[in-house]
Amino acid sequence: MRIAFIKCHGSGNDFPLIDARDLTLSEPQWATLARLLADRAGPVGGDGLLALVPGDDIHAFGMRMWNSDGSEAETCLNGLRCTARLGFDVLGIDAAQVKLKTSSASAARESAIAPGVATIRTLVGPNATRAVDVGLVGAPEQVLDAAIEGLPNPRRFTAVAMPNPHLVTFVEAVDEAELVALGSWCERRPALLPARANVSFVEQRGPTSLFVRTFERGVGLTDSCGSAMAASVLSAALTGRVPFGTPITVFNRGGMVRGQAEQDRRVILSGNATFEATRAVDVDFATGTLGAVETLQDRDAERAAWDAMLAGLRETA
């Protein structure tokens, strides 16, 4: 089967993105496709697979997202921006309500965060803070800046569902080995977290500036995770580190976004939705293999605009 896709990224979180509105695949085939296309050792690579899917009476279109291990995620906010941009492009619109796996989000085009950088604003929530919604078994009703009994790490965490599960802790400096150790423990589906969780270590670098490093469920240590950045913005407000309604700049290894936690626990994220190239590949589901990748259209100007923005961020860091 010939599959066309856009190689895209949001804040460095990169994906193959498929217009799947007229594509019919079984659930096992989608999982296989995600593992093949998002394999870092393969010819495409990515942090997961995105699909633009049909909407309904409320939603102009929908998004599905699979992690690189083939598991489906409830949401992916960096991916949502990219998928929303494609939806806007093919439908000729500038804003929409987008259907996600278990929730809904608003998305709209926004003024560029840097010259030549396509920018999308998303609004998600209300988001949950009940431990049961985060998937914590046997925990108190809420975990807000508190140690979690049974977790093999003594730090104080805030647990939020975006709606995918997140554990967020604020640190003086990110220790990647510590983060990977805890994230790997969560990946083993312990009794405390049978559905696993995303884990983020967050440095507050100023009154309204955060740096986020995340071990992403089903992916591993990643340069960027949109829902983790949103969870970090919400956690900063919930713990009194940044007031609700205050714009925040959120940095990660992949770039940056603008964020804001609303009083009703919805979160606004504005960031890039960069299309790097349009490509196609032959997929053999019977053998689980990919053919050669063909580039149909390069988007050199978009890549150059993003690289220029990153260079500017490094100069001011």
- 244 near 228, Cβ under 8 Å? no
- Per CATH, 2-110+273-316 and 131-265 having the same topology is answered yes
Alpha-carbon distance of 216 to 176, in angstroms, equals: 13
In the predicted model, what is the mean pLDDT of residues 280-288?
96
Q: Domain 131-265 belongs to what architecture?
A: Roll (3.10)
In tens, the pLDDT along 133-157 reads 999 999 999 999 999 999 999 999 9
> 230: helix, coil or strand?
helix
The structural domains of the chain, with segments of one domain joined by +, span 2-110+273-316, 131-265
Known catalytic membership, residue 82: no
In tens, the pLDDT along 55-76 reads 999 999 999 999 999 999 888 8
Alpha-carbon distance of 107 to 241, in angstroms, equals: 27
Q: How confident is the model at residue 317 (pLDDT cuts 50, 70, 90)?
A: low
Q: Which residue among 8, 76, 82, 186 is the active-site one?
A: 76
Known catalytic membership, residue 76: yes
Chain mean pLDDT for the chain: 95
In tens, the pLDDT along 197-231 reads 999 999 999 999 999 999 999 889 988 888 999 99
Q: Which CATH superfamily is domain 2-110+273-316 in?
A: Diaminopimelate Epimerase; Chain A, domain 1 (3.10.310.10)
Q: How confident is the model at residue 316 (pLDDT cuts 50, 70, 90)?
A: low
Beta carbons within 8 Å of 147's beta carbon, 6+ residues apart: 154, 155, 156, 157
Is the pLDDT assigned to residue 177 strictly greater than 80?
A: yes
In the predicted model, what is the mean pLDDT of residues 160-169?
95
Q: Which residue among 8, 82, 186, 225 is the active-site one?
A: 225
Is the pLDDT assigned to residue 312 strictly greater than 90?
A: no
Cross-strand partners of 161? 128, 165
In the predicted model, what is the mean pLDDT of residues 154-177?
96
DSSP 172: S
In the predicted model, what is the mean pLDDT of residues 275-279?
98
Phi and psi, residue 190, nearest 5°: -65, 165
